[in-house]
Amino acid sequence: MVRLQKLLAEAGVSSRRGGEQLILAGRVAVNGRIIRELGTRVDEAHDQVSVDGKPVRVRRKLYVALNKPAGCVCSRKDELGRPTIYELLPREWSNLYSVGRLDYDTEGLLFLTNDGEFALRLTHPRYGVRKKYIATVEGRVTQDVLDRVQRGVFDRGERLKAEQARLLSSSLARSTVELVLTEGKNREVRRLFELQGFAVKRLRRVQIGRIKLGELKAGRWRTLTEPEIKSLLG
């Protein structure tokens, strides 16, 4: 049994807030009876739900892991005509959307789904889902730099902070750093290093929660297993 507005959201009829407005407006019926109570629960398998007389069909939930290559965007359409991640997926999966985003130049693990609750659990700061990145940085990064990154810095009114930062290799020309973040603000890793005077030359996300990128090749995808989905929601 699920709340009626949640079912409407999962079916792609509206957002959950929009579903509440549809219910209050008397536009939603369950088994032929108009429902106006927001707390109403329905059985997805047996109850027949309609909006403005048209049947609502709940879509099968999909959970996909993609190895996003550099040089594509997470938007469905790009005003500059750049490639998008959706061009890498089967056409019948047009109802999927990315769980968070990776910027144009960033590579690595990205989830796509049509499950709003799943997306919320992975992106809202209160759940603190850990995301691991490998950054290749121009120049020698010292422990002092990593300490500042872990203490946190302020930029344009936002506090940027890595939960963990570990040096994997370092030379005068470049350094490789492993970082763990829990919030994932816009371009957070790149901004953290830019504020310390370093340019990130390559950035890959290699893990979300317990799910690792593994051997998944750039531009390829796979569906998540039931145990993997449960590990992310647990």
Extents of the domains making up the chain: 2-55, 63-125+211-233, 130-208
pLDDT over threshold 90, residue 115: no
Beta-bridged to residue 158, according to DSSP, are 155
Tell me which long-range contacts 112-115 makes (C-beta under 8 A, separation of at least 24): 112/62, 112/63, 112/64, 112/66, 112/85, 112/221, 113/61, 113/62, 113/63, 113/64, 114/10, 114/12, 114/59, 114/61, 114/62, 115/10, 115/61, 115/62, 115/63
pLDDT of 219 reads: 97
130-208: CATH topology: Pseudouridine synthase (3.30.2350)
Paired tokens of 32: 């032929």
What is the pLDDT, as a whole number, of residue 215?
95
Q: Which fold has domain 63-125+211-233?
A: Alpha-Beta Plaits (3.30.70)
Query: For position 152, what pLDDT does the model report?
Result: 95
Out of 10-19, 140-149, 166-175, 190-199, which region has the weakest mean confidence (pLDDT)?
Answer: 10-19
Say whether 47 is catalytic.
Answer: no
pTM of model > 0.85:
no
pLDDT band, very low/low/confident/very high, at 48 (cuts 50, 70, 90): very high
> 47, 103, 105, 155: which is the annotated catalytic residue?
103
Question: What integer best gives the mean pLDDT of the chain?
Answer: 93
Closest CA to 71 of 54, 50, 85, 57: 85
When pLDDT is cut at 50, 70 and 90, the band that residue 131 belongs to is very high
Q: What CATH number should be reported for the domain whose range is 2-55?
A: 3.10.290.10
Q: Given pLDDT bands bounded at 50, 70 and 90, which one contains residue 6? A: confident
Q: Starting at the edge strand that comes first in sequence, how are the strands of the sheet with 54-55 ordered?
A: 33-34, 28-30, 49-51, 54-55
Which of 12-21, 96-105, 185-194 bottoms out in mean pLDDT, i.e. has the lowest? 12-21
Contacts of 121-125 with CB under 8 Å at 24 or more apart are 121/232, 121/233, 122/208, 122/209, 122/232, 123/99, 123/184, 125/182, 125/183
3-state secondary structure of 227: helix
Q: Per-residue confidence at 17, pLDDT binned at 50, 70, 90?
A: confident
User: pLDDT value at position 92?
Assistant: 87
Measured distance CA(91)–CA(207) in Å, rounded: 26
pLDDT at 2 over 90: no
Statement: residue 58 has pLDDT above 80: no
**134-186 pLDDT tens trace:** 999 999 999 999 999 999 999 999 999 999 999 999 999 999 999 999 987 89
Please check whether residue 136 is in contact with residue 176, taking contact to mean a CB–CB distance below 8 angstroms. Answer: yes
Residue 230 in this model has a pLDDT that exceeds 90: yes
Q: What is the DSSP-derived secondary structure letter of residue 141?
A: P
The pLDDT assigned to 67 comes to 98
